[in-house]
Structure 1
Amino acid sequence: MTRFGYTLMTEQSGPKDLVRYASAAEDVGFDLLVSSDHYFPWLSAQGHSPYAWTVLGAVAQVTHRVELMTYVTCPTMRYHPAVVAQKAATLQILADGRFTLGLGAGENLNEHVIGEGWPNVDTRQAMLGEAIRIIRELHSGELVTFRGDYFDVDSARIWDLPEGGVPIGVAAGGAKAVEELGPLADHLIATDPDPELVGAWNSLKGRQRIGGGARAIGQIPVSWDPDGIDAAVERAHDQFRWFGGGWAVNADLPTTAGFAAASQFVRPEDVASSIPCGPDLDAVVEAARPFWEAGFTDIALVQVGDELQDRFLAEAAEPLLARLREAAPTG
């Protein structure tokens, strides 16, 4: 059965609003809540970037059923992996086992703030693999001393550990990343509905298959707007035109000004061709379809624009979820 999520987009909403949206999203029937973990918004027009872990701690207390997830946290620069291990364990306790730790190699936009430079992609992937190993060791509850190529841990122990541990999802943009990082994780995270990623995961030895215990979690932006396509396209172009750059570009740009410059020639019609815009819920279903056809088990929606979140959740979410579940595979 395909599951559908709602994205707590920290780049476009303040912390109290995000907590309110999370409660409403559970009430209307979403299966999971995924939260971005940023220091900067992508574009200045989005205007926010609260600390995701504080928000998720509050969300864990106002929700009871819906699953929670970081989409995604970078555990290599802005956060040391030992710190990520501690806060993931604490959040899992607060969430009563509903939390999945989504991890990725990060973006320059968020990690440059510590002033350590931005490594090349091969180094970032190697750092992520080492970080996951440290987190796994610390979640064993044992005293951990670790000397690695990128990180050191000195006599560390997590004292408050949840029963059952913390499942880990890893973001992978290609088959090579799946082969390197998949053996360290429980679930796959990807932004493109690429069946080759699912196939690469399912070929790993010793891992549960996607749909047979492991999950493949994707994400799509939508610009629902009851006032029509033009308003929806204008909002999406203003706040989400960065999306068209792809992760090969998005991972390396350091500032909101850089994203504004890189996307200055993106036209409204370009955005409309990649993001479903307007009041048509069936267009959202068709945009999500490639994910379940590629074998993804979970699809998180991002409603563009803070100003429409309340209306999206009150007016569109329930009928949209009904149409998505009718169209998606049931087993």
Structure 2
Amino acid sequence: MLRFGYKASAEQFGPRELIDFAVRAERAGFDSVFVSDHLQPWRHTGGHAPAALPWLGALVASTERVLVGTSVLTPTFRYHPGVVAQAFATLGCLAPGRVILGIGSGEAMNEAPLGIEWPEGKERFARFKEAILLIQELWAGERVTFEGAHYRTENATIYDRPETPVPLYVAASGPAATRLAGRLGDGFICTSGKGRELYTETLLPALAEGAAKEGRTLDDLDLMIEVKVSFDTDRRRALEDTRFWGALALSSEEKTGVEDPVEMERLADALPIERTASRWIVSDDPEEHVERIWDYVGMGFRHLVFHAPGPDQARFIEQYQTHVLPRLRERAAALA
């Protein structure tokens, strides 16, 4: 089954606005709402960073149908994995069958400002794997004593757990973490706008390899991709909307060591519009827009969460409801 979700852009809007947009998205027919969990946004001017955990509590109280979750939260530095396990168990009790925990290994801009010494990739990966195992043990057992290299618990119990387990989705952009997602996750999260070969020749084969180690296939996982879309019947507006998110177009080399949203904003604003738009599907033609989105379905992704960059999210939701979602639903029905 194909699902089409809405990304609540926490780096761009305050918590009350985000709730309003999420409720609109549910009414417009989106299947899910995901939110990122940043301590600091990608840019200082006009930036926001509401905390995901309390916000998700408000979201499940404000909606009735949509799946909700994080895309993504880091359970290794700002949060102890046990706190994450408890929080999402509680959310699962509040909205049974509607909550997803999406996690990733993190970014320095969210951790270093709190005085956390940002480690090398090998340690981050080890912490991430250990955090996943601990969360799953806490969800499954009682009186959990866990002795890891980075985390430990002694007779810990999550007392309030939902009857319907909370799925755990692992975000990854490289083969090692993707294999981990295949082994330990219920779902996989990645982002769009990169070369097709990354998905078809690196990530999806690594995911299948990891799943096979546990006797599973890709059909046993929810393959989710956050699709960067800028759709508007006014093409120039669709193009200009991408400026706020120029940081996404910066190369890894350009962003390395940048932990301050003021500096990230400066680097992003220096880019020409052609580069800021390079990570997005920019279009004013619904048929062409859907065709480009469908490339990801062709690769095997089954849960597409749409992230729009513009300041008028109500306009985006309305235009997607009118021009894009019906076409996607039609194609999905034909595929089924």
Q: Which TM-score applies when normalising by structure 1?
A: 0.91
Structure 1 letter corresponding to 2:230:
S
Counterpart contact for 1:2–1:330, Cα < 8 Å: no
1:172 corresponds to which residue?
Answer: 172
Deviation at 1:29, TM superposition (A): 0.8
Contiguous gaps of at least 5 residues in structure 2: none
Q: Which range moves more in the overlay, 154-163 or 279-288? A: 279-288
Deviation at 1:279, TM superposition (A): 3.3
1:319 aligns with 2:323: yes
CA distance in 1, matches of 2:64, 2:215: 29
Q: 1:169 to 1:248 in 2, by over 3 A?
A: farther
Q: 1:102 to 1:286 in 2, by over 3 A?
A: same
Counterpart contact for 1:107–1:252, Cα < 8 Å: no
CA distance in 1, matches of 2:47, 2:246: 15
CA distance in 1, matches of 2:278, 2:14: 29
Q: Report the RMSD for the aligned CA atoms in angstroms.
A: 2.1
Structure 1 letter corresponding to 2:206:
A
Deviation at 1:137, TM superposition (A): 0.9
Structure 2 letter corresponding to 1:180:
L
Deviation at 1:272, TM superposition (A): 2.9
Deviation at 1:191, TM superposition (A): 1.3
**Greater relative contact order: 1 or 2 (C-alpha under 8 angstroms, separation 6 or more)?**
1
2:260 corresponds to which residue?
Answer: 255
Q: Which TM-score applies when normalising by structure 2?
A: 0.90
Counterpart contact for 1:198–1:216, Cα < 8 Å: no
Structure 1 letter corresponding to 2:162:
P
1:139 corresponds to which residue?
Answer: 139
CA distance in 1, matches of 2:227, 2:147: 39
Counterpart contact for 2:96–2:164, Cα < 8 Å: no
2:246 corresponds to which residue?
Answer: 241
Deviation at 1:235, TM superposition (A): 2.5
1:25 corresponds to which residue?
Answer: 25
Q: 1:187 to 1:248 in 2, by over 3 A?
A: farther
Deviation at 1:303, TM superposition (A): 1.4
1:218 corresponds to which residue?
Answer: 225
Structure 1 letter corresponding to 2:38:
H
Q: 1:100 to 1:312 in 2, by over 3 A?
A: same
1:293 corresponds to which residue?
Answer: 298
Q: Which range moves more in the overlay, 53-62 or 197-206? A: 197-206
CA distance in 1, matches of 2:254, 2:98: 33
Q: 1:303 to 1:208 in 2, by over 3 A?
A: same
Contiguous gaps of at least 5 residues in structure 1: none
SS in 2 for 1:50: coil
Counterpart contact for 1:223–1:275, Cα < 8 Å: yes
1:208 corresponds to which residue?
Answer: 216
Residues 224-250 of structure 1 show CA distances to partners (whole Å, capped at 9, x for unaligned) of 334x2223322311x111111256765
Deviation at 1:251, TM superposition (A): 7.5
Counterpart contact for 1:109–1:251, Cα < 8 Å: no
Q: 1:137 to 1:293 in 2, by over 3 A?
A: same
Counterpart contact for 1:39–1:49, Cα < 8 Å: yes
Structure 2 letter corresponding to 1:324:
L
Residues 50-92 of structure 1 show CA distances to partners (whole Å, capped at 9, x for unaligned) of 1111111111112121111210110000111010000010111
1:55 corresponds to which residue?
Answer: 55
CA distance in 1, matches of 2:5, 2:136: 26
Deviation at 1:280, TM superposition (A): 2.8
Deviation at 1:265, TM superposition (A): 3.7
Structure 2 letter corresponding to 1:297:
R
